[in-house]
C-alpha cells in the first residue's frame, strides 16, 4: 500500500547542508499498522510529510496504492503533530471539514462527523469551539476529523502524545477498532515504546544524523494486546536493547 524507495532529504541553510533522511526504503502492506520510532530530530516528521505529499524528497520516490506521490491526496490523510483546527468553527464543523468535498448530504455529513466525535469521547463538546477545549481535547478533534474521512491510509504524527494515559489508552483501542473495521493502513510516528508495541504489526526503529531505518521489527503478538504479559515486556525490552545497539544513548528518554 505504501512503498518508500530510496528516499533522501537534506535541508540547506546558507552554505550548510543538513542531511535529515538518508536512502530510506520500506513498504507497508494494506491493512498493516507500522510505527516509526526514533529520537527527536531523527527525521520522522520529515519522512511522514514526504509520504503524505507535503514535502518533496531530494531523491527517491513514494508510492501509495501504486500511485507516485506528488501532492497530498484524499485517500491518504496526514494527522499532523500540531493539531490544525479552525478556531472559528465548532468541534462538529471542524470534523465535517474533511467531508465537505465529498458527495454527501448535509445529514450524512453530520452523522459521520458526530459518530467520529463520539468515538473520541467528545459527544458533549460537539458544539463548542477549539479555544473552549483543553489541548488533549483539541487533539481528539483532529483525530476525529481523520477518522470521519475513512481514508485508505492514515499517516499519524504522534497523535496521542498530548493526551493523558486514560485517553491515550482509550484512543489506541478506538484506533485498533476502526482500523479493523475499515481495514485502513496506518503509519504512525511515536516516541512511546509502549504505544508502539501495543499498536504495531511492525516497528521501524530509526537512527539519527542522518535518519535511517536501523531495524524492522515484527511484533508477533495477537491483538488486542495485554500490556502486562511477559510477551509484551519481551518486545519492550527488545526495543530498548535495539536502541542501545544502535548507539542511541539513553533510551529512557523515548518513553513518556
Ligand X SMILES: Nc1ncnc2c1ncn2[C@@H]1O[C@H](COP(=O)(O)OP(=O)(O)OP(=O)(O)O)[C@@H](O)[C@H]1O
Minimum gap (Å) between residue 74 Cβ and Mg ion: 23
Question: Binding Mg ion by CB under 5 A: which of 35, 42, 45, 152?
Answer: 45
Residue 206 CB, shortest distance to ligand X, in Å, is: 7
* Nearer residue to Mg ion within complex by CB, 94 or 190: 190
- 151 interacts with, out of ligand X, Mg ion, none, CB within 5 to 8 A per kind: none
The reply on whether position 200 binds Mg ion by CB under 5 A is no
Q: Which is nearer to ligand X, 33 or 189 (CB)?
A: 189
Nearer to Mg ion, 80 or 243 (CB): 80
- Give the interface with ligand X as residue ranges (CB under 6 A): 11, 20, 40-46, 81
The nearest distance, CB 74 to ligand X, in angstroms, is: 24
CA pseudo-torsion sign 72, 10, 38, 63: positive
CB of 189 to Mg ion, least distance (A): 6
Contact 113, 99 (CB under 8 A): yes
User: 40 is in the binding site of which of ligand X, Mg ion, none (Cβ under 5 to 8 A by kind)?
Assistant: ligand X
Angle in degrees, 0-180, between the axes of helices 135-148 and 106-119, rounded to the nearest 10? 130
User: Bridge partners of 154?
Assistant: 77, 186
Give 97 or 256: the residue with its C-beta nearer to ligand X. 256
Could you list the beta-strand ranges (E) of 80-193.
Answer: 153-157, 185-190
Do residues 45 and 9 lie in contact, with contact meaning Cβ atoms separated by under 8 Å?
Answer: no
Do 136 and 163 contact (CB within 8 A), yes or no?
Answer: yes
Q: Which does 224 bind (CB under 5 to 8 A by kind): Mg ion, ligand X, none?
A: none
Angstrom distance (rounded) from CA 142 to CA 84: 7
Q: How far is CA 4 from CA 51, 67, 108, in A?
A: 8, 12, 36
Cis peptide before 93 (omega within 30 of 0): no
Least distance from C-beta 16 to Mg ion, angstroms?
A: 21
Q: Rounded CA gap, 192 and 253, in Å?
A: 9
**Cis omega (within 30 of 0) on the bond before 224?**
yes
**Cα dihedral across residues 145, 151, 154, 160: positive or negative:** positive
For ligand X, which is the closer residue by CB, 92 or 190?
190
Rounded to the nearest whole angstrom, what is the least distance from the CB of residue 93 to ligand X in the complex?
A: 29
* Closest residue to Mg ion using C-beta atoms: 45
CB of 45 to ligand X, least distance (A): 3
Cβ closest to Mg ion, residue 49 vs residue 92: 49
The total of other beta-carbon atoms located within 10 Å of residue 237's CB is 11
Closer residue to ligand X, CB minimum distance, 95 or 203: 203
Contacting residues toward Mg ion, per CB under 5 A: 45
Amino acid at each position: 500500500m505504501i512503498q518508500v524507495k530510496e528516499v533522501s532529504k537534506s535541508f540547506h541553510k546558507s552554505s550548510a547542508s543538513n542531511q535529515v533522511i538518508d536512502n530510506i526504503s520500506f513498504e507497508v502492506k494494506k491493512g498493516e499498522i507500522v510505527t516509526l520510532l526514533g529520537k527527536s530530530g531523527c527525521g520522522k516528521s520529515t519522512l511522514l510529510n514526504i509520504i503524505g505529499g507535503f514535502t518533496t524528497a531530494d531523491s527517491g520516490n513514494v508510492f501509495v496504492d501504486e500511485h507516485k506521490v506528488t501532492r497530498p491526496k484524499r485517500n491518504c490523510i496526514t494527522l499532523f503533530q500540531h493539531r490544525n483546527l479552525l478556531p472559528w468553527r465548532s468541534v462538529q464543523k471542524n470534523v465535517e471539514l474533511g467531508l465537505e468535498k465529498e458527495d454527501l448530504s448535509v445529514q450524512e455529513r453530520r452523522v459521520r462527523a458526530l459518530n467520529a466525535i463520539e468515538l473520541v469521547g467528545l459527544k458533549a463538546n460537539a458544539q463548542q469551539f477549539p479555544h473552549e477545549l483543553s489541548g488533549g481535547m483539541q487533539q481528539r478533534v483532529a483525530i476525529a476529523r481523520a477518522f470521519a474521512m475513512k481514508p485508505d491510509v492514515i499517516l499519524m504524527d504522534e497523535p496521542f502524545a498530548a493526551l493523558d494515559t486514560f485517553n491515550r489508552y482509550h484512543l489506541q483501542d478506538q484506533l485498533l477498532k476502526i482500523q479493523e473495521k475499515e481495514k485502513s493502513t496506518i503509519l504512525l510516528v511515536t516516541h512511546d515504546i509502549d504505544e508502539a508495541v501495543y499498536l504495531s504489526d511492525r516497528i521501524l526503529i530509526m537512527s539519527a544524523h542522518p535518519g535511517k531505518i536501523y531495524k524492522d521489527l515484527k511484533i508477533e503478538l495477537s491483538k488486542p494486546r495485554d500490556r502486562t504479559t511477559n510477551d509484551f515486556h519481551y518486545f519492550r525490552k527488545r526495543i530498548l536493547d535495539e536502541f542501545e545497539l544502535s548507539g542511541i544513548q539513553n533510551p529512557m528518554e523515548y518513553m513518556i
